[in-house]
Chain A
Amino acid sequence: MKSDHKETVDLTQTFDVLVIGGGNAALCAAMTAREAGASVLVLESAPRHFRGGNSRHTRNLRYLHESGNDFLTGPYPEDEFWDDLLRVTGGQTDEPLARLTIRESNDVGKWMEEHGCHFQPPLRGTLHLGRTNAHFLGGGKALMNAYYVTAHRLGVEVLYDAEVHDLKMNDGEFSSAGFRSNGDSRTVRAKTVVVASGGFQANLSWLKEYWGEAVDNFIIRGSPYDKGQVLRVLLDRGVKPVGDPRQCHAIALDARAPKFDAGIVSRLDSVSFGIMVNKHANRFYDEGEDFWPKRYAIWGRLVAHQPDQIAYSIIDSKSIDLFMPSVFPPIEADSIKDLAVKLELDPSALEETVTRFNQSIGPGTFDYSILDDCETVGLEIPKSHWARPLDTPPIYGYPLRPGITFTYYGVTVNERARVIMENNQPSPNIFAAGEIMSGNILGKGYLAGFGMTIGTVWGRIAGKEAAGYACGAA
């Protein structure tokens, strides 16, 4: 199935626009630039089967819309969008760029459909996002497939297995890129470059600079190809960084997941139904602090700070059917003690933790649809809601580890997606889109579906600006 791309590309020519990366931001940039008349080459480091970066793992995107449609249950106006963003970032955002992102996302679903995207009504597990987020039929990989088909039809050239490791730059002006392809080193010249190569979350040694050996116990949820080489090159060549290099979006996920690329299925929604304990069988955080969709993204960091970066979610048979089924079956036992043995925890320690937890629960009426009144009394680490005694066998346990979704550290850009150099001057012909510049807008925190918004909006801005510069300069 190689029918949709050429095996070879004429590298003697000078392309108008070189796009580095093969995910959502990259393809949005490539299609936009090509439609503006530019010649476009996409270099994707992954082989064809794994093309599409983290974007292939996504399911929806959030965009501004004044009224509902077939896939969105109601309007999502600018003020609400902005408030949501302000809340999750705690104000750590560049307001003009953030507002631009929101405005440019207005009805972007239409543009996506024109470029091959198919939407579906919200998934049953994500009904709470039904008004704000549009869901891709078949998920992100189907979206990427559609974009590749469209890009190909438009005449965008694509090389897979093409990992960019160097950019020739002079005073912030780009002239050519070096990449490895099937073991060979090659060079390609272009009048402009759009860097859309994602974060650096798959670069374990880079992560270790901040997290040390704990990284060995981290799981990378998405593509193993997002290693941040191009981000490194840009920063080394004097592009101004943005964001906290230590920050990353991390959730707690099933410890049995493979090191890379397990995507959505390794997530686990059991935490707020029971207790979480560390390897010493001690609880360490309020499992019922708030609704799960608002809290799932803090648990990666919480588990990362526990000894050996491991934790266990423990529930009993009352709750086993109340959350999304897990991909790995729970570890099951008839008593707390037996479960401890199976999880290789100290049985008496776990029994003590559970007994204290059970005894601290006051009267209440369990209701998962609200912040109910089932809470613990007198524990130094309380459970504020949905606290029910763990007393009905079988007892179930899941091991959890930190799962890194993406990193925040990136390059600074202006409103035309040009990267900003350390001297605060924009580069004339280097543009960035997607995760690699999302730190401008998301200083911290996350809004479900906003990663794809940033990629789509900034991919389109970068594609348009790059084509304009290249074709105008010709």
Chain B
Amino acid sequence: MHVERLEPSTDILKESERVMRICNACRYCEGLCAVFPAMERRRTFTGKDLKYLANLCHNCRGCYYACQYAPPHEFALNIPKTFAELRLETYREFTWPGFLAGLFQRNGFKVSLITVLSVALVVLLTFSLKGVSGVFSVYQGENAFYRVIPYLLIVIPVSALGLYILAALLAAAVRFWRETGGQLSELFDPIANGQAVWDALRLKYLDGGGYGCNYPDERFSMARRWYHHFMFYGFMLCLASTTVAAVYHHFLNWNAPYPFWSWPVVLGTVGGLALLLGTGGLFYLKRRMDTEPAAPTAFPMDVGLLVVLFLTSLTGLLLLVLRDTPAMGALLAVHLGLVVGFFITLPYGKFVHAVYRYAALVRNALEESGEEH
């Protein structure tokens, strides 16, 4: 099958080049984030440079409000918007497999549709397995969940999807790396990765030079950084909860559901609550944000991921609370359906920003260390 590679549209690249050329003659924003020092290492900007810089941008908006050339000035500089648009193009360009790049068009709609279909599918399967009365029965004690949906029927598809996701994300990272001009070995440079992990875990570049981003409006605020932390670490705790549960199941022969004060439940509960707070907070900020520095095309994509994550953690928490009631079966089906939908769309939605941003941070760390020599 011949697959047409989607090159970023030249209009956006041209605009990005124009913007960087103006900034490089100004440099007032040098202290705001990593993009400007990276820009200053260059005198001219090729497509490769621009795709890298766009993904290094954390979209904190500091440079929009600080810019004396922001619209309606005739230079009409709007870096957060321009780079958000270019990022979207790079997501399409580097997606693996390439023929799925179209999913990034009208992404919010497609993500919602796939998620709804996944939920419907799992719910239907569950009902056809158990019948209506079977689904709405009360299940208690060891293996309660798996009496609704058999263990292997959960674990095999979800694990397969998990492996697929890892492969797709890695392939995307490698493509990005190659296309932005890097040796593959550099991507795995331990020191640069250490630096990038440290930058990513702190969300260093959402701190706007120490005072927070200009989000949702002109004032400096750490709100977005905090909510993002809640979401990120909530997500990590949920992952940890699942991992611990898998260990219990396979190695200790101790099967779900676990008691309230067990590691999987505590981790999952704290993580789920953090996810709710994080995604809810980010959604709230997004509703209130100044839309001038935003790329309209990115909005549905961003919201899509927030909603899916929110619903997944909400149903997960409900499942915990209501697991001894007749609602458990249906909730389990909906929750699993959401997890499946989230997994399927993960490499084809907002989530991928983490991959490219991380790779860009690795490159930034490499460039910074090269400079010190």
Contact = CB atoms under 8 A, between A and B. Distances in A.
Nearest to A269: B25
Given A118-B210, A120-B31, A124-B30, A141 B68 contact: yes
Contact of A141 (B66, B210, B292): B66
Given A264-B26, A326-B25, A258 B74 contact: yes
Nearest to B67: A141
Nearest to B32: A138
A87 to B, nearest CB: 27
B32 A265 contact: no
A263 B26 CA distance: 9
A139 B28 contact: yes
B43 A142 contact: no
A264 B25 contact: yes
B68 A56 contact: yes
Given A50-B72, A124-B30, A321-B43, 8 more contacts: A120-B30, A120-B209, A124-B27, A138-B66, A141-B68, A265-B25, A267-B25, A327-B21
B69 A138 contact: no
B151 interface: no
Interface in A144-190: 145, 149
User: Which 10 pairs from chain A and chain B are nearest by CB?
Assistant: A138-B66, A139-B28, A120-B31, A142-B66, A327-B25, A265-B25, A141-B68, A325-B24, A265-B26, A137-B31
27 contacts: A1-B292, A120-B30, A120-B31, A120-B209, A123-B28, A124-B27, A137-B66, A138-B28, A138-B31, A140-B68, A141-B66, A142-B28, A145-B66, A258-B74, A261-B73, A263-B26, A263-B69, A264-B26, A264-B28, A265-B25, A265-B69, A266-B25, A321-B43, A325-B21, A325-B44, A326-B25, A327-B26
Interface string B40-81: 100110000000000000000011011111111111000000
B327 to A, nearest CB: 44
A124 B27 CA distance: 9
A329 B24 CA distance: 12
B62 to A, nearest CB: 6
Contacts of B29: 138-139
B142 interface: no
Contacts of A267: 25
B22 A327 contact: yes
A149 B66 CA distance: 14
B43 A325 contact: yes
B68 to A, nearest CB: 5
For A3, A118, A149, the residue with the greatest tally of chain B CB atoms inside 10 Å of its CB is A118
A274 to B, nearest CB: 17
B211 interface: yes
Interface string B257-287: 0000000000000000000000000000000
A59 B74 contact: no
Nearest to A136: B28
Contact of B40 (A124, A140, A145): A124
Nearest to A57: B68
Interface residues of A, number: 38
B189 interface: no
Nearest to B31: A120
A56 B70 CA distance: 12
Interface string B213-243: 0000111000000000000000000000000
Contacts of A1: 217-218, 290, 292
A121 interface: yes
Interface residues of B, number: 35
Contacts of B22: 265, 327
Given A120-B31, A125-B27, A137-B32, A263 B68 contact: yes
Interface of B: 21-22, 24-32, 40, 43-44, 62-63, 65-75, 209-211, 217-219, 290, 292
A188 to B, nearest CB: 27
A258 B290 CA distance: 28
Contacts of B27: 123-125
A324 interface: yes
Give the interface centre of A57, A139, A145, A329 by most chain B CB atoms within 10 Å. A139
A49 interface: yes
A378 to B, nearest CB: 35
Contact of A121 (B31, B73, B74, B75): B31
Contacts of A324: 25
A345 to B, nearest CB: 25
B209 A118 contact: yes
Contacts of B44: 325
A149 B219 CA distance: 8
A329 B25 CA distance: 11
A139 B68 contact: yes
Contacts of A329: 21
Greatest chain A CB density within 10 A among B27, B28, B32, B73 is at: B28
Nearest to B44: A325
A121 B74 CA distance: 29
A258 B22 CA distance: 14
Contacts of B71: 49
Contacts of A118: 209-211
Nearest to A222: B68
A57 B29 CA distance: 12
Contacts of B25: 264-267, 324-327
Contacts of B211: 118, 137
Interface in A45-98: 49-50, 56-57, 59
A279 B76 CA distance: 32
A145 B65 contact: yes
Contacts of A49: 70-73
A267 B22 CA distance: 11
A286 B214 CA distance: 47
Nearest to B28: A139
With a 10 A CB-CB cut-off, give which of B24, B25, B218, B292 has the most chain A CB atoms. Answer: B25
A139 B66 contact: yes
A201 B43 CA distance: 33
Contacts of A123: 27-28, 30
B209 A137 contact: yes
